[in-house]
Amino acid sequence: MNGDPLDIAFAGIVRQAQMLRDGEITAPQLTELYLERIERLNPKVNAFNAVFPESARAEAAAAQQRLDAGESAPLLGVPIAVKDNIDIEGHVTSIGTGGFSKPAAADAEIVRRLRAAGAVIIGTTNLPEFAMYAHFTASPTWGVTRNPWNPERAPGGSSGGSAAAVAAGLVGAAVASDGGGSIRVPAAHCGLFGLKPQRGRVSLMPRAQNWSGLSVEGSVTRGVADSALFLDAVAGNVSGDGDIAMPPDMPYAQAAAEDPPKLRIGVSMTPAIPGTIVDREVRDAVAAVGDLLSRLGHEVVDAKVRYPLLLPRFMPRYVTGIAEDATGADEGKLSRRSRQAIKLGRSKLAQRMKQWSIDQEDAARAKIEPVFERNDVLLTPTIARPISSAGKWLGKGFFHSLPTAGFYVAFSAFWNYTGQPAASIPAGFTTDGMPLSAQLVGPPDSEGLLLSLAAQIERERPWTDARPALAAH
C-alpha cells in the first residue's frame, strides 16, 4: 500500500479506482482498510447494520485477479455500501425494520450494475423504518445512527447510514435513495455531495417505481466527480416495466470535469412548505455560494418561485408508498409510528388522493416551468434549520414527528414530485462546527449541468479535505 491509510480512506472512489489501476494499492488491501475502520468506528456512529467481511474479501480477491490480468472496469475493486432498502441477493432487506425475514432472491438492478462495474459490496447501511423521515435515522431494531461531525446530532435521513458511513471514512461511496430529500438532506447534514437524479434515470427494478414515482436511487459521496462516476456506472435502460431514461451522450464524469457555460442562476429562499423559517446561518451560506457564482462569471439574480401547494400532493404518495413497502412485514415487530403510517396509507381516502396527486403532476410542472425559462439553475437552501439531536425522535408517533419533518424537506420534496434533478453541495460550517449546505436544482434531464456547476464550485471552494474529528485517525 502506497500512501497514508487515512488519506486513502477519504480519497473518494475516483481516486481509489485510479490507485487500484496503477497498482498503488490492491483491492484486498483497500477492502481490509475499510473493514478495520468499520469494526473500530461503526460502534460510534452506527452507520452499518450489516457488514459482509467474507464475501467482500472474496469479491476483492476476484477483482484483484482481474486487475492483475489487465482488465478494466469503472469501479473494479472499489468497496461500496448499500442502503438497506435495496435488495442484495441472499440478504434480508430490512427497510430499517425487524419486520422482514426472507432473504432477497436476487440483486436489485442498481446492485447488479455496481457489481458489473467491478464494485465490492461491503455491507448495508441504516435508515429509519420504511425510509419515513429525512431529519433522523433511528429505529427500534437498529438503534440510533449518529452524525460523525458530532455524535450528539443526527445524520439526517432517510439515507443517514449511507451519509454517516461516507462522512466517517468507512467507505468511499454509498448507495442512497431519495423520496423527499433522502439523498440531499443527509448529504447536507454530513458535509457531503448528494445528487438526486432525474426520475427514471436509475432503474428501481425489481420495482418499476417506488412511492408512485417520488423515490429515486443514487449515491452520497465526498466529491462531485465521485457521484458522476457512480451515476455513469448505474444509469441507463433495462428490460422490464420501468420507465428508465438513457444516459446522455456525454459521460457524467466528463461533465463533472468541464466548467459549465455562463449561466443565469436564480436564488430563492422561498420554501415549498409555507411557514418554514430559514435559519440565518443557512441564508448566509446560500448567499455566499451565490456570491462565488457571480465572481465566476455567472449571472446571479433573485428568483421568484411560486410553488403549487405541496403537502396535499406529496403526502398521499408518501403514506401509500410506506404501506406498499410494508407488504409482507410482521407488523407486530414495527414501531407505533410505522403502524400509524401504514394504516393511513391503506385508507380509501389516501388511495383516492394518491390518484389525484398523480393527475395533478403535469399542472404542477407547468406552474414551476417559468422558473426554468427565466433561469438555468435554481439555488436554494437544502435544509432550513440546524441539525436535530440524534435519537430525539425515537419512539415518537407518526403525527408527532410529521410537522418537524416538514422543516427539513421544505426545499427538497417538491422536486421529487416533479421528478427533476437536484443536488446538495457543502457550503461551510455553522458556528458550532456542523455542516451547512446549498441546493442546486435544474430543469428536467440536467444532471450533467448540475454536476458541471457543482464541480466548478468545488474547485473554487474545496470541501473534501474536511474530516470529522471522530474519524480522522
End-to-end CA distance of the chain: 17
Instruction: Note if 294 is an active site residue.
Output: no
CB proximity list for 100: less than 8 A, separation 6 or greater: 92, 93, 94, 328, 329, 330
Given 94, 162, 177, 182, the catalytic residue: 182
Q: Which pairs count as long-range contacts for 400-403, CB under 8 Å and 24+ apart, including other chains? A: 401/133, 401/337
d(CA 284, CA 298): 19
User: Does 227 participate in catalysis according to the annotation?
Assistant: no
Nearest CA among 217, 14, 225 for reference residue 127? 217
Active-site option among 139, 158, 162, 212? 158
Catalytic site includes residue 158: yes
Q: State residue 266 phi and psi, 5-degree precision.
A: -90, 130
Which set of grid coordinates corresponds to residue 51? 457488514
Residue of 83, 159, 212, 357 with catalytic role: 83
User: Which residues form the catalytic set?
Assistant: 83, 158, 182
